[in-house]
Chain A
């Protein structure tokens, strides 16, 4: 059961990477290539993507903190200034209520004096009035004639009666400019408690907010807990209008929210709640400006990511191409080597069989030859043999046929070349001369000049004579095939180094193209159309390698070819 699930899981995930071994080569290599590319890309791009995302996230977090900190600080500081300002005003009013008794405050002269002093020393006071316990203004100094006004029905009057201090929301007075009222209870006098009430202009709010020096896209204003604007806002309404931003009206200290404003812009909103008062300082800053660095970083990361992915892809494709090509080539090489080996084995078994047959046939052939020879001898020696000429002709015919047969058997025996190496001390110069013996007739007939530059002091080496003969014969055969009648073949031998001697066979024949050069040691590659086996040079190569040597070819079309063979002086252990 578990196995089954595992298998299914595997099929869903990596199953597509399977490929059956028995697929035809082009499909197999295509699949192999595809799989390697997929794995390569997955293995590189996934971690890269993950890294980029994590990096981006962390940077954003860090940057956010960095951005929020100053906003919070600024909001806090400004709120503090405002609180301080209000507290100061409240204290001033409290001070007046304590410093003067009710009678003095009820006196218009004194009140006027106080009002003037206040405006001279502190400023921003619009009017001042004393209200008795019944809520009637008994004295007043200010631009309006509000003496005798009854405040007993107003809400603030009840509040100040209970709390002792009252600070109003901003309101528009008779002159239609925003101000706030502060009222303080004075115990005793005027037949009970009386209350001193001042109104002050909110211009100072504006000044304090202006001192925040916010940039043009940012906004700061004060609202009360009902969401009514207490100062003008740049983007969110005029004073005493409802704020167009939704702001939670209850809170504590300063909190920062991320928010989408009505225009659809992402903003940071810092809300600073006043202590003991219904005011909230709101600072609105658009994110885009603050996080500009982040956006730059984001696009940089994206850019780097895209470039990396491109580079990785190109790299992976190239690398895979090279790798698969390599695998394909080595597969092909292995295949060729395997075929070559099979072929060699086939040849050698055919050779052995042929040699066996040839040898067995040689003996009866020899008997036929001798018997016929004897018959011929007898007939020739007899003076009066009837039909003597007829018989002589018949016997000659038999002998000719025997001759033909023996040629065939000898060729078959020659074909069964020895496969095992037999090492003996030998002189390479001598071996070359012996081999040339086979070709001298052809050279003479085709008027090919054989130049021999054989090193006189060439050391004797331990190698296989038969195999070397075969090597020289194969290369010389090729040279003979390459040169025109009247061409030239030069054979040079030299002492290469401590362990090696060199033999070069150079012809001035047709030469080979680079393409041909690449393939000459491959079995069944032949340029001798029709009569080449394509085995000469591969066998040569095989022998040289078996003897521990090396073979190099240089060739130029129309100029000729040079085969250089390096033979070890002592057989190398494999």
Chain B
């Protein structure tokens, strides 16, 4: 069992619940949010170390959530899910403070690697903050 909690945010319920289940199977504590409001609510109630965030969502969009996270809980690391194929898009979001990005459809092992790296970064940030 990994010692970090992950919040998965995506409007595709089927995708996000299945992904959560798979991560659970691999011993990663995952919770799910299917829209922006829920994501922000759970951010406070569950206090996940890592958020996996879909950029394109109805309502509050991915970029807005990213901004709010970076503003209110800057130690939280964000991995962006992007559908777009260009490198530039990724770089752009990275500049906004995301830890990393991964393209849909995802490779679960890649995602777990990135989460682990993010968790490390999160740890060090927290320590620095303390």
Distance between Cα atoms of A368 and B18 in the complex (Å): 10
Question: Is A362 touching B88 in the complex (CB atoms < 8 A)?
Answer: no
Question: Is A367 touching B12 in the complex (CB atoms < 8 A)?
Answer: yes
State how many angstroms separate the Cβ of B14 from the closest Cβ of chain A. 5
State how many angstroms separate the Cβ of B107 from the closest Cβ of chain A. 9
Chain B residues bordering chain A, tally (CB within 8 A): 22
Q: Given known contacts A363-B12, A363-B83, is B88 in contact with A373 (CB within 8 Å)?
A: no
Question: Is B104 touching A362 in the complex (CB atoms < 8 A)?
Answer: yes
Question: Is A374 touching B85 in the complex (CB atoms < 8 A)?
Answer: no
Is B73 positioned at the interface, with any CB of A under 8 Å from its CB? no
Is A434 positioned at the interface, with any CB of B under 8 Å from its CB? yes
Q: Which of A366, A414, A469 contacts B85 (CB 8 A)?
A: A414
Binary interface profile of A, 348-376, with partner B (CB < 8 Å = 1, else 0)?
Answer: 00000000001100110111111101100
Question: Is A409 touching B88 in the complex (CB atoms < 8 A)?
Answer: no
Question: Is A370 touching B85 in the complex (CB atoms < 8 A)?
Answer: no
B14 closest partner in A (C-beta)? A367
Binary interface profile of A, 391-432, with partner B (CB < 8 Å = 1, else 0)?
Answer: 000000000001100100111111001100000000000000
Is B22 positioned at the interface, with any CB of A under 8 Å from its CB? yes
Q: Given known contacts A366-B12, A370-B15, A374-B18, is B84 in contact with A359 (CB within 8 Å)?
A: yes
Is B1 positioned at the interface, with any CB of A under 8 Å from its CB? no
Is B86 positioned at the interface, with any CB of A under 8 Å from its CB? yes
State how many angstroms separate the Cβ of B12 from the closest Cβ of chain A. 5
Q: Which of B22, B83, B86 contacts A373 (CB 8 A)?
A: B22
Q: Given known contacts A366-B15, A370-B15, A370-B18, is B84 in contact with A413 (CB within 8 Å)?
A: yes
Distance between Cα atoms of A224 and B25 in the complex (Å): 152
State how many angstroms separate the Cβ of A351 from the closest Cβ of chain B. 11
Question: Is B85 touching A410 in the complex (CB atoms < 8 A)?
Answer: yes
Question: Is A466 touching B88 in the complex (CB atoms < 8 A)?
Answer: yes
Distance between Cα atoms of A478 and B97 in the complex (Å): 36
Distance between Cα atoms of A290 and B68 in the complex (Å): 114
Per DSSP, chain A at the interface is helix
Docked complex: B41-84 residues within 8 A CB-CB of A: 56, 83-84
Distance between Cα atoms of A536 and B62 in the complex (Å): 35
Is A331 positioned at the interface, with any CB of B under 8 Å from its CB? no
Is B96 positioned at the interface, with any CB of A under 8 Å from its CB? no
Chain B residues whose C-beta falls within 8 Å of the C-beta of A412 in the assembled complex: 85
Distance between Cα atoms of A414 and B19 in the complex (Å): 26
B85 closest partner in A (C-beta)? A413
Question: Is B103 touching A370 in the complex (CB atoms < 8 A)?
Answer: no
Q: Given known contacts A363-B12, A363-B15, A381-B25, is B85 in contact with A369 (CB within 8 Å)?
A: no
Question: Is A413 touching B86 in the complex (CB atoms < 8 A)?
Answer: yes
Is A484 positioned at the interface, with any CB of B under 8 Å from its CB? no
Q: Given known contacts A363-B15, A366-B104, is B21 in contact with A374 (CB within 8 Å)?
A: yes
Distance between Cα atoms of A370 and B87 in the complex (Å): 24
Distance between Cα atoms of A434 and B86 in the complex (Å): 13
Is A465 positioned at the interface, with any CB of B under 8 Å from its CB? yes
Is A377 positioned at the interface, with any CB of B under 8 Å from its CB? yes
Question: Is B105 touching A366 in the complex (CB atoms < 8 A)?
Answer: yes
Question: Is A370 touching B88 in the complex (CB atoms < 8 A)?
Answer: no
Chain A residues whose C-beta falls within 8 Å of the C-beta of B18 in the assembled complex: 367, 370-371, 373-374
Question: Is B22 touching A374 in the complex (CB atoms < 8 A)?
Answer: yes
Distance between Cα atoms of A367 and B86 in the complex (Å): 22
Chain A residues whose C-beta falls within 8 Å of the C-beta of B21 in the assembled complex: 374
Chain B residues whose C-beta falls within 8 Å of the C-beta of A358 in the assembled complex: 83, 85
Is B117 positioned at the interface, with any CB of A under 8 Å from its CB? no
Distance between Cα atoms of A414 and B83 in the complex (Å): 11
Question: Is A410 touching B106 in the complex (CB atoms < 8 A)?
Answer: no
17 residue pairs from A and B, CB less than 8 Å apart: A359-B56, A359-B84, A367-B15, A369-B106, A370-B14, A370-B19, A370-B22, A370-B105, A373-B18, A377-B25, A377-B26, A403-B105, A406-B103, A411-B85, A413-B84, A413-B85, A466-B88
Interface residues of B (CB under 8 A from A): 12, 14-15, 18-19, 21-22, 25-26, 56, 83-88, 91, 103-106, 108
